[in-house]
Amino acid sequence: MIIGAGLGGASLAHGLKRAGISVAVYEREPARRGGSFGFRVAIGPGGSRALRDVLPPDLYETFVATCARPPRHLTIYSEGLDELFTTSLPVAGQTGAAAAVNMKSASLMTLRQLLLTGIEDVVRFGKEFTRYERRPDGRITAFFADGTSAVGDVLVGADGPHSQVRHQYLPQADVQDCGLVAAYGQVDLDEAARLLPWEKMLRGISLVRSRQGLSFIAQPMEFRWDSEGELKSHIGNVDAALIKTWPGMRYDNTRDHLMWGLMSSSRLFRDEPEALRGTRVVDAVADMTRRWDPALHALVNMTDPATVAATRAVVSRPVGRLEATKVTLLGDAGQVRFPAPGTGANATLRAAGLLCRLLTGAVTDQWPVVAAIRDYEAQVLGSGFGAGRSYWKCLNRKVRMNRPVIGPVLAAGTRTRLRVANQVPSLKRRVAGEFSWVQGGSAA
CATH superfamily placement of domain 2-439: FAD/NAD(P)-binding domain (3.50.50.60)
- Asked if residues 189 and 257 have their Cβ atoms less than 8 Å apart, the reply is yes
pLDDT at position 47 over 50: yes
pLDDT at position 223 over 50: yes
- Asked if residues 58 and 239 have their Cβ atoms less than 8 Å apart, the reply is no
Q: CA 431 to CA 76: how far, in whole Å?
A: 11
pLDDT at position 391 over 70: no
pLDDT band at 76 (very low <50, low <70, confident <90, very high): very high
Predicted structure pTM score: 0.90
pLDDT at position 93 over 80: no
- Burial (CB < 10 A; 0-12, 13-18, 19+), residue 31, is exposed
- Burial (CB < 10 A; 0-12, 13-18, 19+), residue 245, is exposed
Cα-Cα-Cα-Cα torsion 345, 441, 49, 155, nearest 10 degrees, comes to: -30
For residues 407-430, average pLDDT? 88
Q: Say which amino acid occupies 371.
A: A
Give tens-digit pLDDT for 10-34. 999 999 999 999 999 999 999 988 7
Give tens-digit pLDDT for 318-359. 666 678 999 999 998 987 777 765 678 898 999 999 999 999
Give pLDDT, residue 67.
95
Across 171-175, 294-298, 431-435, the highest mean pLDDT is recorded for: 294-298
Across 149-158, 230-239, 266-275, 317-326, the highest mean pLDDT is recorded for: 149-158
pLDDT at position 444 over 50: no
Is pLDDT larger for residue 401 or for residue 330? 330
For residues 399-405, average pLDDT? 59
pLDDT at position 264 over 80: yes
Cβ partners under 8 Å of residue 180, min gap 6: 263, 264, 265, 266, 312, 313, 395, 398, 399, 402
Give pLDDT, residue 96.
45
pLDDT band at 425 (very low <50, low <70, confident <90, very high): very high
Q: Judging by DSSP bridges, how do beta strands 149-152 and 155-157 pair with one another?
A: unpaired
Q: Say which amino acid occupies 112.
A: R
Give pLDDT, residue 441.
63
Give pLDDT, residue 384.
47
Per the prediction, the chain carries an average pLDDT of 87
* End-to-end Cα spacing for the chain: 33
Give tens-digit pLDDT for 100-156. 456 789 999 999 999 999 999 999 999 999 999 999 999 999 999 999 999 999 999
Parse the chain into domains and list their residue ranges.
2-439
Q: Judging by DSSP bridges, how do beta strands 155-157 and 327-329 pair with one another?
A: parallel
pLDDT band at 99 (very low <50, low <70, confident <90, very high): very low
